């Protein structure tokens, strides 16, 4: 059974940092991995994606320069380093696996096949 488990969420003050982890129960070598988020009353939106090798990444405009996606295929884990957090970053964050090696560039949830259960990130003073 293919499973993804997110961790690392929590409560942080504006301007603070968090690192999310996405651990897979399967080998990630051939999967692009995306991070998504969903705030209450809003649609799920794409945050970032990394290709299977990690050499190609993309980001939503709202997080560029603040968030960094990385992966360690030896550990079957993908990370999302989030710096300079803002209240509008508050959401449940999900990781998802795409059964292709490349990111599409569009960060559409419909392009991803396996999803984690999510981890809550709250940015508040």
**Does the structure show a pLDDT above 90 at 24?**
yes
DSSP string, 63-94: TTTTEEEEEEGGGTEEEEEE-S--GGG-EEEE
Q: Which pLDDT belongs to residue 105? A: 77
HSE-up (13 A, CA, CB side) for residue 125: 3
**Does the structure show a pLDDT above 90 at 11?**
yes
Note the residue count of the chain. Answer: 125
pLDDT 10s digits, 66-104? 999 999 999 999 999 999 999 999 999 999 999 999 998
């Amino acid at each position: 059974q293919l499973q993804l488990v997110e961790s690392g969420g929590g409560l942080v003050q504006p301007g603070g940092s968090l690192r999310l982890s996405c651990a897979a129960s399967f080998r990630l070598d051939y999967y692009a991995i995306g991070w998504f988020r969903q705030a209450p009353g809003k649609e799920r939106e794409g945050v970032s994606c990394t290709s299977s090798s990690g050499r190609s990444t993309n980001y939503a405009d709202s997080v560029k320069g603040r968030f960094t996606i990385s992966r360690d295929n030896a550990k079957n884990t993908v990370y999302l380093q989030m710096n300079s957090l803002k209240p509008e970053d508050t959401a449940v964050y999900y990781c998802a696996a795409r059964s292709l090696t490349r990111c599409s560039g569009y960060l559409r949830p419909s392009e991803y096949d396996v999803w984690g259960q999510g981890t809550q990130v709250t940015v508040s003073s």
